[in-house]
Each structure stands twice: as structure tokens, then as C-alpha cells.
Amino acid sequence: MQEQMSWVGLQVGDYLVEEQLGEGAFSYVYRAFDLTGLKPAVAIKVSKPPEFISLNRKVRATSAKVLWSGFVQDVHPDSAKLLSIQANKLRSFQHSSLLKVETPVTDSGGCYYIMELLQGQTLRQIWETAAVPGHLLLRLAVSLSELSHVHGWDFHGDLKPENIFVTGDRLVLLDPGFFGKIQCREGDLQVSVTTPEYYPDLQPDDLLAFGIIIWEAVCGVHPLLSGQDAANDLPHSLGEDVLQQIEARELAGRFELSPLRRLQKPEQTKPWLNPQLRNLLLKGLRLEEENGKIHRNEGFKSFDEVVNELSPLLNQLQCSG
């Protein structure tokens, strides 16, 4: 494979690209400064050429998948189109938790858009070095509740700690996912562009993604990535309804929920948890405990409900570490 062409040193309008900040599954992000000195520095997101999109993804990385006859397969979507859709979605709404971006530019070489340059840390970076920031989890729920009331805002679609950025007193949601038909190397397909570890059903289910995030933050382990040793299976703690759900997926070759077999109850990893917080964590995963067994539950219906149940428990969240 040929070496990718860097944008460092290129001039984009009034901006000069000075360094690469990061790389995603379908794009690169650069820092650029204004040559006139009148505007602040910006970030520029650039679509990857098709030959640089790899299916060898890391855990918790955004990927593109299709569901064919019950089986999940990776595909190569048009990255330029993805970036254009992402930029236009962000531009369509005015909210403090959304990244500010300019009109995307598309040509034969791909797509790019200019966006505000943020100073701070992702939620992942914060909780890797400090106690769980309970007030940030509540703020995230509040932001998602407010966005759900904005006409036309249907979902973020790729909520994960890496896409939640904290800068000063502002929380910003990065890189929305995509669910729909798009041109891929493999054809014109119905694709889910998201992170399967937070969207195991490959559906735009932000409520479940939030439930996974808060479980991970409080318990210190991702509920769908914890434990790989089958000898640690704990079927005695799972109700028959949960086991049947897992087994039905496994028969179709889908193992996203299999780690639930080894899922420890919240109080087993964090003995200080009170019953209300434990029940909230289970509900976030659409589970509940009854007579010592973990059963399926309908879970939260809205982020308004999440906020109402999470707010009284903020002190318990702040005690974790």
C-alpha cells in the first residue's frame, strides 16, 4: 500500500496546516492556523482515500458493518460521503454540546471540513487518571435530553468516552455515527457506521450506549468486553430469558452479548454501591435483578427519565474511583 499523503504544510483557504492531531477509521484530523492572524486556530477533518480504509480495527474503534442474513460483515463505505453527512448534521443544529463546523468541501479528491479546535480531554482520558466524574455523566444525560427535544435530532449514533470531549465547563459530542444506505466498495448498502461495543444491535440506540458508558465509568469495566475465560461463566446469576437472548444470537454467529455470561453484578465490583445506583446501572443495560437472578428489562424510555433517576444519585457517583 502506498504511503498516505499528509496535509501538513498545505494551505487551505486562509489556513496553513501545521500538524496532524489524530486519525480515525475514515478520516484524519489536522491543526491549522490562520495566516492573517485574525482568526483562531482550527481543526480540519479530512476523509481518507479508499485505499487507506482498513478493516483491521481496534477495540472501541468506529467501524462500518452490514447485517446480511443475520450475520455481520465489515465493509468499506465512501468516506467522503460519510464526512459530508456528518458535517451537515452537526451544522443543522445549534446546541452548546455540538461541535461547531463549517460547510464541508467535496471534490474529486475527497471531502474535508473546518471545525473549531477544542482544548481539553475526552471523557476516556479523564477517567483513566481520576475518579469517575459523576457530574459529567449527568451533564451528558442532560445534553442528550435537550437534544432529543430538538426537532429533527434523532440520534448521535456513536456515543463513547472517546467521542465525549470536556473543555472548560463545556461538554462536546464528537463524530456522530451513520445508519443508512451509502455507496461502499462492496456495493450500495444499508450500513451501520458506529462502535459495536457501544451499539451491539447496530442500531442508533443512544440510550443503550449511555447505559454501557455509565456502567463502565462506575464499575471500571466495559460490560460487553469484560472477561474472556469461558470457565468464568456465571449462568447461575442469569435468568433464563437473558440466556435465551444470548444463545439465539450465538446461533446466528453473533457474540456481542456473550460477555453477559460472565457479567458480575455491580456490587461485586464496587461493594460501596447502594441499591438505587445498582438498579440504575442494571436498567441502563436493560436488565434487572429479581430473586437473585438477572433478567431482561425494558430499560430507560428517554433521557428525561435518565436525568430524573440519575440526579438524586450524583453524590454516590462522585464517591467512586
What pLDDT is attached to residue 108? Answer: 79
Q: What is the mean pLDDT of residues 260-271?
A: 88
Q: Mind listing the pLDDT tens digit for each residue in 92-103?
A: 998 999 999 999
With 60 as the cut, is the pLDDT of residue 321 above it?
no
Q: Mind listing the pLDDT tens digit for each residue in 216-233?
A: 999 989 999 865 454 455
What pLDDT is attached to residue 319? Answer: 53
What pLDDT is attached to residue 228? Answer: 46
Q: What is the mean pLDDT of residues 236-260?
A: 90
With 60 as the cut, is the pLDDT of residue 131 above it?
yes
What pLDDT is attached to residue 232? Answer: 55
pTM: 0.93
SS3 annotation, the chain: CCCCCCCCCCEECCEEEEEEEEECCCEEEEEEEECCCCCCCEEEEEECCHHHCCCCCCCCCCEEEEEECCEEEECCECHHHHHHHHHHHHHCCCCCCECCECCCEEECCEEEEEEECCCCEEHHHHHCCCCCCHHHHHHHHHHHHHHHCCCCCCCCCCCCHHHEEEECCEEEECCCCEEEEEEECCEEEEEEEECCCCCCCCCCCHHHHHHHHHHHHHHCCCCCCCCCCHHHCCHHHECHHHHHHHHHHHHCCCCCCHHHHHCCCHHHHCCCCCHHHHHHHHHHCCEEEECCEEEECCCCCCHHHHHHHHHHHHHHHHCCC
What pLDDT is attached to residue 284? Answer: 97
Position 140 confidence tier, pLDDT thresholds 50, 70, 90: very high
With 90 as the cut, is the pLDDT of residue 53 above it?
no
Percent of the chain with pLDDT over 70: 93
Q: Mind listing the pLDDT tens digit for each residue in 283-316?
A: 999 999 998 899 999 999 999 999 999 999 988 7
Q: What is the mean pLDDT of residues 191-205?
A: 96
What pLDDT is attached to residue 226? Answer: 61
What pLDDT is attached to residue 54? Answer: 75
Please, what is the average pLDDT of the chain?
90
Q: What is the mean pLDDT of residues 241-252?
A: 92
Q: Which domains does the chain have, with CATH numbers?
A: 59-318 (1.10.510.10)
What pLDDT is attached to residue 1? Answer: 33
Q: What is the mean pLDDT of residues 271-277?
A: 90
Position 128 confidence tier, pLDDT thresholds 50, 70, 90: confident
